[in-house]
Chain A
Amino acid sequence: MDWKKQLSLILSKTLLVLLLVVMFSSSVIASQDDHKVWRIDFLNSLTGSVASIGNYMSWSAQRAAQEINKSGGINGKPLIVLEHDTGDSPEKAISEMAKIIDHALVALGPVPEVCIQAAMPMAVDRGLFCMLASTSYEVAVNYFPWSISWFPPTEEVLPGVTETWAEIHESLEKVIQFTEKQAVWPQMAEFHVAGLQTAGVKEVQEVEVPKDAIMFDSLAVKALSREPDGFILTCSPEKAAKIVISLQKQGWEDTSKILIFSSADDTSLYTTAGQYLNGCYIYNYIDPNSQNDRWISFREDYKKEHGGLEPSSLSTIYYDCVYMVKEAIEETGITGERDNLAKERIKIRDYCRNVKSFEGIQQTWDMSDGVPSEKGAFLFIIQDNHKEFVCQTN
């Protein structure tokens, strides 16, 4: 035989043997790990369009795991949060879900709606409880009882926020809402309108913000030409920032009559608009000025590791999720043994969906059939890139 052929034969055989060894050893290591540690799989979006959100969610979930491990783990066993990057690709979400579907006790995520839609039917089909904490009730409810909603139905929270804001400004009669057609945002916009109408605002008009918009002066001029008394911004952080700047450049002076919605409360809002935000109202689900010790420590460490930036709006949710899973494991006597997997998945699911007086990092709340109660939103005024607490709305 030709020496080249012999060499390639030897190389390919070696490669095959190595591959088999790696596959075998990794499966042995994995099965050994399963007995020694608690493992929570997190289908997160660490790359792609929502990677910035995914990264701080990852930070908070890992922080919770570190804290738990420092204080002795769960029933004496350490906890690892194993992250699987789905990006924002439905195919990748399916493939990552498929990798964990047969052995995971519980899963965190998926995060983007497009990944949730692609991967969750598999989780429902195979009975894997997934904590869809980053999305709204309206999305999570489609996968009940194999999912949990971290937020009450939007219609229960948002009207209260806009109603409160409108009542602070008694003279509001006509409000323009800038709306971007993205995931659940149009529905949120509808509930903003409901709250304004309850407060007596006579007219609410919509200006659609195109997803690919770069220049915002024309949108601002269009809105101002309708002679409104105030604005609500239901669009991405960068776009909200640019609209605030454009409105002021076009002559709008009373920034307190601008309300920014929760999903725009992200770093890029502040870095883009800076001082233009002074006086604007914003609502959110976490209060940065809370005096809870756990929160203070979380906030300080977050700022240290993120160049002085405040924790973002969704930064605490998976921190709380990890603690909720810990509580479920401890309270329901979960063993983590493979033979009991199906039963224990259900135990965790039922515990989390109906947990009472759960002490989150910011609030204490009850869950009832997967839906939280007593979880309101916080209203703030922005001053020098800081949020000053105004009130909590229910």
Chain B
Amino acid sequence: MILLYYFLVFTAIYILMGWSLYLPYRVGHLHFLPISIMAICAYFAGIASREWGWPFLLIIVVGMLIGLIISYGVSLLIGDAPCFTVVIVGLTSMFIVKTVIENWNLLGGSIGFFNIPSIRYLILWAYLLLLFMGYLMFLIEDSQIARKASVIFNDRKLAASLGIRSKKIALFFHSFSGILAGLSGILYASLIGGLTVDFFSFSIVGTLMAILFVGGYTCMWGVVLAAPLLGGIPILLPDMLIVWKQVIYGGLLIAMVCFRPQGLITRQQIIGLKNNLRRKYK
């Protein structure tokens, strides 16, 4: 049972993080800032609950605000930048956050941050928040702003000629991505009860990339499918295969890029499914 508990909460965290990478990618930005935000909010949650004794709900609200402010601020600078610039900014932010944490004794430095109080009914919190965020994602997916994002993803010049302000759209997607990342960080800190900077490193980039691109980057459901499978690999994989985790992720990524570039679930499939259901119930 306890294994299932961890598996389910980890899955919720990976879905939220998968979405936080998916959203910027809707406007053609492969953005790793959400990983830095996750780290910042995880340490914030640790300090707020252990040192200041804040209630969990307040930590969630403030954590999401922190995520929003950081991502909004960065997006103001790089909202209309090309993908490569965004990648560089995201990776650099990871280095900066890592170095700050390693050298800041308040955050436990390189030893780590311990004794974060556990939260009762964390699994309930995690899935209620996931459902709420999922509902918001669903509304966004069906909105005009998502269609504008698709145009930006396919051709920025075309989007500009249609009067779509790509920076404004990117600002929205980046900001919402920051909120999701903040929430993931808080849930992670509450689940593990301790933090080390090593978790927020390149291995998590690999895991999230695999979740996004294997599941499918054209709709929100790809992440939902891939997160339990790929995020759960370290928990479910037999001992002898655990060392091959990154190879499995890498192999899957290469295979998907070669044979099914849009991932396991595509937007066309979802639209087809919706149309079928509409016809059936008419």
For residue A15, CB closer than 8 A to chain B, the reply is no
Main secondary structure of the interface of A (DSSP, over half): helix
Question: Residues of A contacting B102 with CB < 8 Å?
Answer: 181, 186
Measured as residues with beta carbon below 8 angstroms from the partner, the interface class of chain B is: 20 to 34
| Contact indicator B6/A186 (Cβ below 8 Å) | no
Question: Residues of B contacting A159 with CB < 8 Å?
Answer: none
Specify the chain B residue showing the minimal Cβ separation from A89. B234
Q: Smallest distance from the beta carbon of B171 to chain A beta carbons, Å?
A: 34
| Contact indicator B194/A120 (Cβ below 8 Å) | yes
Q: Count how many chain A residues have C-beta atoms less than 8 Å from C-beta atoms of the other chain.
A: 34
Complex CA–CA separation, A176 to B239 (angstroms): 43
For residue B114, CB closer than 8 A to chain A, the reply is yes
| Contact indicator B110/A117 (Cβ below 8 Å) | no
Given contacts A91-B10, A95-B3, A185-B110, contact A113 B196 (CB under 8 A): yes
| Contact indicator A184/B243 (Cβ below 8 Å) | no
0/1 string, B55-95, CB within 8 A of A gives 1: 00000000000000000000000000000000000000000
Question: Residues of B contacting A48 with CB < 8 Å?
Answer: 242-243
Specify the chain B residue showing the minimal Cβ separation from A46. B239
Specify the chain A residue showing the minimal Cβ separation from B203. A89
| Contact indicator B103/A117 (Cβ below 8 Å) | no
| Contact indicator A117/B195 (Cβ below 8 Å) | yes
Complex CA–CA separation, A28 to B103 (angstroms): 51
Question: Residues of B contacting A333 with CB < 8 Å?
Answer: none
For residue A142, CB closer than 8 A to chain B, the reply is yes
Question: Residues of A contacting B7 with CB < 8 Å?
Answer: 95
List 20 A-B pairs, Cβ < 8 Å: A47-B243, A48-B243, A85-B242, A87-B242, A91-B234, A91-B235, A92-B242, A95-B6, A95-B235, A98-B6, A99-B3, A102-B2, A114-B112, A114-B196, A118-B192, A121-B194, A139-B111, A142-B114, A182-B110, A186-B102
6 smallest A-B Cβ distances: which pairs?
A: A121-B193, A117-B194, A47-B243, A91-B234, A142-B114, A98-B3
Which residues of B approach A to under 8 Å, CB–CB?
A: 2-3, 6-7, 10, 102-103, 109-112, 114-115, 118, 192-196, 198-199, 234-237, 239, 242-243, 245
**Beyond A48-B243, A186-B109: 12 further Cβ-contacts under 8 Å?**
A47-B243, A85-B242, A89-B245, A91-B234, A95-B7, A99-B3, A113-B111, A114-B198, A121-B194, A139-B112, A181-B109, A183-B112
